[in-house]
Amino acid sequence: MRSLNVLITAASRRVALVTAFQRAINRGDVRGRVIATDVNPLSPAIRAADRWYLVPMADEPGYIPTLLDVADGEDIDLIVPTIDDELVLFGESRELFDARDIRVAVSPTATSRVCNDKYETCRVLRQHGIRAAQSWLPGDVPASPAFPLFLKPRFGRGGVGAFPVRSPRELEFFLDYVATPVVQEYLEGTEFTVDVCCNFDGRVLSIVPRERILIRAGVIDRGRTVRDARLIALAEAVADILPFAGAVNIQCRVVNGEPVVFEINPRFSGGIPLTIQSGADFPRMLADLALGRAVAPSIGDFRDGLMMTNYEASLFLMPEQAAPRRTAAPSRVGVVA
């Protein structure tokens, strides 16, 4: 019997991701636990994990040391970071985890830096001949731009602070209103997310395009898988330029028949349950890689046209269950029997 324990950081609402990894590491001759961390004891995904810990914020000095202590105590084999804020940090700390024989499903630091910067992402892609949204920093916006435009934080996630801009007056207002903004051409067309899974050497294993039919708070609410050769080719081209590891999602719109990238997130997407359900089981692929097993590419191997529609679910906790507060030292504050 093989053992494989997985740590999912910043678990938040990612209940489906936690349960997907639980299935991936409890099958055949493999058994293991999924450990989750978060800063908030009311985050629902930690309640789905086998054990959970409260940890510092990713921008606090104790974040990585705390995770190392958790990893040591739980005999972790694979770490799955889930938010943009920690990707560069994990890349910079890779040697600390390598020394413990822990695989971290995170792209190289340089890739994470580019993808965390919405302006730099599009600049690099356009430099290599891939269609990406024309982007400007505040001081570079043309004197008489073609409206509408789209303005958002240069460093941000979840659609927070992102606005369509329809006039010079709105442009002036939002340039002042949004911190560190980037201005992009407005892309009129169907929006897609392309989920990509790469091995730890950057080889693409799986690509699944998804149409974003309805988006709520920056996350897909309803969608469907689409076997579109243009989107699959786009993802392969992007992966040739930016070396990835683990899960990646590429966001684009199809404009006049051609996909145009506007954002890349080198982490699991909010719509990953649809990709997994379609047959592209990214958690199982990463689990097998962490076990040292060969995983053959299966690009385009998924159920086409599968639709997903989300709904809300609730957990109910007594006061004593929600009471634990984060402390400077790592301590297990929750166990699912």
Alpha helices in 218-281 (DSSP H): 229-241, 272-277
Distance CA 141, CA 205 (A): 39
Dmax (CA) of the chain: 66
Place of tokens 């740590």: 7
Sequence-ordered list of residues with C-beta below 8 angstroms from that of 80, at least 6 positions apart, any chain: 6, 7, 8, 9, 17, 21, 105, 246, 268, 286
| 102-151 per-position pLDDT tens digit | 999 999 999 999 999 999 999 999 999 999 999 999 999 999 999 999 99
The answer, yes or no, to whether residue 328 has pLDDT greater than 50, is no
**pLDDT mean across residues, the chain:** 93
Distance CA 34, CA 286 (A): 13
Cβ neighbourhood burial of 129 (10 Å; 0-12, 13-18, 19+): exposed
Asked, colleague to colleague, whether 2-105+314-335 and 134-185 share their fold, the answer is no
**Residue length, the chain?**
337
Q: What are residue 224's DSSP bridge partners?
A: 211, 307
The whole-number pLDDT of residue 158 equals: 67
Distance CA 219, CA 126 (A): 26
The whole-number pLDDT of residue 220 equals: 79
The whole-number pLDDT of residue 337 equals: 35
Query: What does pTM read for this prediction?
Result: 0.93
| 266-312 per-position pLDDT tens digit | 999 999 999 999 999 999 999 999 999 999 999 999 999 999 998 88
Distance CA 3, CA 50 (A): 15
| 218-237 per-position pLDDT tens digit | 777 899 999 999 999 999 99
State the pLDDT confidence band at 324, using cuts at 50, 70 and 90.
low
Choice between 172 and 321, residue whose per-residue pLDDT is larger: 172
**Where do the structural domains in the chain lie, given as residue ranges?**
2-105+314-335, 134-185
Alpha helices in the chain (DSSP H): 15-24, 44-48, 63-74, 84-92, 94-98, 109-116, 118-127, 168-177, 229-241, 272-277, 282-290, 319-322
| 7-52 per-position pLDDT tens digit | 999 999 999 999 999 999 999 999 999 999 999 999 999 999 999 9
Q: How far apart, in Å, are the Cα atoms of 130 and each of 45, 127, 204, 300?
A: 37, 8, 18, 21
CATH of 2-105+314-335, one of 3.30.565.10, 3.40.50.20, 3.30.70.890, 3.90.226.10: 3.40.50.20
CATH of domain 134-185: 3.30.1490
Report the chain's terminal Cα–Cα distance, integer Å: 21
State the pLDDT confidence band at 156, using cuts at 50, 70 and 90.
confident
Mean pLDDT over residues 144-171, rounded?
92
On whether the CB atoms of residues 195 and 269 are closer than 8 A, the answer is yes
